[in-house]
Amino acid sequence: MKIFAVGMNYMQHNKTLPGSFSKSEAPVIFTKCDTALLKDGKPFFIPDHLGSIEYETELVVRICKLGKTIPVRFASRYYDAVTVGIDFTARELQSRLRKQGLPWDLCKGFDGAAALGTFVPLDKIKPVQNLRFHLDINGTTVQEGYSGDMLHQVDEIVSYISRYFTLRTGDLLYTGCPTGCGPVRINDHLEGYLEEQKVLEFNCK
């Protein structure tokens, strides 16, 4: 199982980043290791040695069959379900890595950094590019997104990744986060919603 993620895929979020831009020619892709996966409502243990840890709430799609060099027009055949996930980011470490032009693995791929909700089959929900999602912390909505605002749409991302990596059943794609990121703290209770359906819930420890 591979975990792929897309950076800088929402314009409003990009405006908050150093050296921001409206849209890159190709999706910005990074990966997380398998131990980053956090699911089934298990708690997120905040690593105290990485500084501020921020949530980035994202739409996540699940790859459903083997694929390589997939044309965009066929990409929708290669994923079958969607949920909400959180791309936890060690923000201060990310800033240092950015300044040095170094990879993001350490600030994005640490244990527990890929929280994953319960998947909803695509045939049970709106089209993937017409979905609203949000994150509540301690009962208050802190981040909202709409998949139609993505700079690179899901089919385009799936096709692009498949040029470099063979996609396999069960691989995950975190599609990028909108604006509104912020820190998590011990005892925070997080709830992620896809449209009005709660698909993600866990505590920070």
Q: pLDDT (tens digit, 9 = 90+) per residue, 141-179?
A: 999 999 999 999 999 999 999 999 999 999 999 999 998
For the cut 50, the answer to whether the pLDDT of residue 24 exceeds it is yes
| Closest to 128 measured CA to CA, from 58, 190, 31, 66 | 58
Phi, psi dihedral angles at 154 (to 5 degrees): -55, -45
Q: pLDDT (tens digit, 9 = 90+) per residue, 29-56?
A: 999 999 999 999 999 999 999 999 999 9
Instruction: Return the bridge partners of 60, or none.
Output: 83, 174
| Closest to 120 measured CA to CA, from 79, 83, 78 | 83
Whole-number pLDDT of residue 168: 98
Q: pLDDT (tens digit, 9 = 90+) per residue, 97-133?
A: 989 999 989 999 999 999 999 999 999 999 999 999 9
Q: Which amino acid is at 28?
A: V
Whole-number pLDDT of residue 25: 80
Q: Which amino acid is at 18?
A: P
Fold of the CATH domain 3-204: Fumarylacetoacetate hydrolase; domain 2 (3.90.850)
Domain ranges (residues) in the chain: 3-204
Q: pLDDT (tens digit, 9 = 90+) per residue, 73-105?
A: 999 999 999 999 999 999 999 999 989 999 989
